[in-house]
Amino acid sequence: MSQSYAFYKARAEDAASEAKGATLSNVKERHLQAEKTWRGLAEQARKVEVDREKARKARAVRREIEERSSAADTAE
């Protein structure tokens, strides 16, 4: 199951919040590292969503062209 951009972004914000509240430096660093990782995953998920939408639109255009071509062939 793939996670969404919103999910990863929310986890990054949670980690950032935890880092701000941490008093121990190692705990703060752990949360900052987690935030960085979550933000990377969020960006990756956003890119996948964008790429999927582009591919969906390209398939729709190809399908339309094929349908028009098929309709033109049967009309002749």
State pLDDT tens for residues 35-69.
Answer: 999 999 999 999 999 999 999 999 999 999 999 88
Write down the pLDDT at residue 75: 66
SS3 of 2, please?
coil
DSSP secondary structure code for residue 24 in this structure: S
Length of the chain in terms of residues written: 76
Q: Who wins on pLDDT, 72 or 35?
A: 35
Q: What are the sequence ranges of the domains in the chain? A: 5-75
- Is pLDDT above 90 for 27? yes
Which pTM value belongs to this model? 0.76
